[in-house]
Structure 1
């Protein structure tokens, strides 16, 4: 783990549909934290002309490129979702570059708190960059409900996505702090404040 002198680096993770963005909003508004969403970093690195873009095309072919010249998100999802080996091959290309990019963003930050959000925070090797991991969770039923309401996912698709991620027990084992995001926003905010203003300082 890197010892950042002026900055606390918090890693935020949790399963799909857990509402990690709610916690990010609270940290940004209440603590002026810099938010780094690794999915967005990865998307930038996969744009035409970027390192990951060409590496992925070299590995999987031009069939992944859409009419606009960008990597087609739907085709990428199908490629990864249906074949774990393909997922690992793409992760092997993308994750090291994302970590290096995030590391530079932390170095250049002037904020007291930098927050790294990643669904694969644990698997992608972000432990060395973070002072601590927070796990955001809700019940499986609530996740399925949110995925239907917010993304239009069927129950079958939602359960498949959930089963492809770490279990609740695995997340708990690897994270220092847990936040139950299944109630009101104010209840979630209270838990965030208890961690940053209470537990961590005791």
Structure 2
């Protein structure tokens, strides 16, 4: 069987990337989320977690030995050089997890979901880019409801992500997710039917 081509799925915080990815998964498409891979590489017992604790101290661990991601996020957003150190540690490990998953995928195409697909350069490793897009006000509203973060923290996260129009410049396809879940599912089905006709992700 030929190796599946890879669709990169991205969008700003609160755009509905996960909901879109879930809808593709329900159609039998194998999906790996870079955020999930980022969690796997810092599980207790993995070397990356030990290095993070060495650098930032045991206060970043929860009672069960898991990484306190919220505390780490706060720390690195306040100190850019710490963020750079963390990215240098984690990015190669995350890339390896993703590559192993995609190499084993069996569906006609596979999806890499990544909020920083374009910013991190990951888009160069996929054959096609789908951007889930919502108006900025709706994006803010959804993210604030879902993540229970402060508006200041949300703005900092949004600033670390590409501006909406810049992200859209990299899109082969755009999925507008400003309506309800059934509209999203219809749009995913339409794209899926189209993707099944593509060889290597290109028309």
One fold, TM greater than 0.5?
yes
Alpha-carbon distance between aligned partners in 2 of 1:59 and 1:132, rounded to the nearest angstrom: 38
Who is 2:16 aligned against? Answer: 19
| TM-score normalised to structure 1 length | 0.86
Deviations 1:76-114 (A, max 9, x none): 111122122221211111111111111111111222221
1:7 corresponds to 2:18? no
Instruction: Report how far residue 49 of structure 1 moved.
Output: 1.6
1:71 corresponds to 2:67? yes
Who is 2:33 aligned against? Answer: 37
Gaps of 5+ in 2: none
Change (3 A) 1:59 1:123: farther
Alpha-carbon distance between aligned partners in 2 of 1:164 and 1:35, rounded to the nearest angstrom: 24
Who is 2:169 aligned against? Answer: 173
Deviations 1:122-170 (A, max 9, x none): 2333234311121111111111211232233344433333223110122
Contact 1:103–1:129 (8 Å) recurs in 2? no
Alpha-carbon distance between aligned partners in 1 of 2:57 and 2:150, rounded to the nearest angstrom: 30
1:61 corresponds to 2:71? no
Who is 2:147 aligned against? Answer: 151
Alpha-carbon distance between aligned partners in 2 of 1:84 and 1:175, rounded to the nearest angstrom: 28
Alpha-carbon distance between aligned partners in 1 of 2:18 and 2:65, rounded to the nearest angstrom: 29
Contact 1:148–1:154 (8 Å) recurs in 2? yes
Gaps of 5+ in 1: none
1:160 corresponds to 2:151? no
Give the paired residue count.
Answer: 198
**What's the RMSD between the two structures over aligned residues?**
2.2
Show the 5 A alignment for 1:98-177. 98-177=94-173
Moved over 6 A (4+): none
Instruction: Report how far residue 17 of structure 1 moved.
Output: 0.6
Contact 2:41–2:48 (8 Å) recurs in 1? yes
Alpha-carbon distance between aligned partners in 2 of 1:28 and 1:181, rounded to the nearest angstrom: 17
Change (3 A) 1:127 1:154: closer
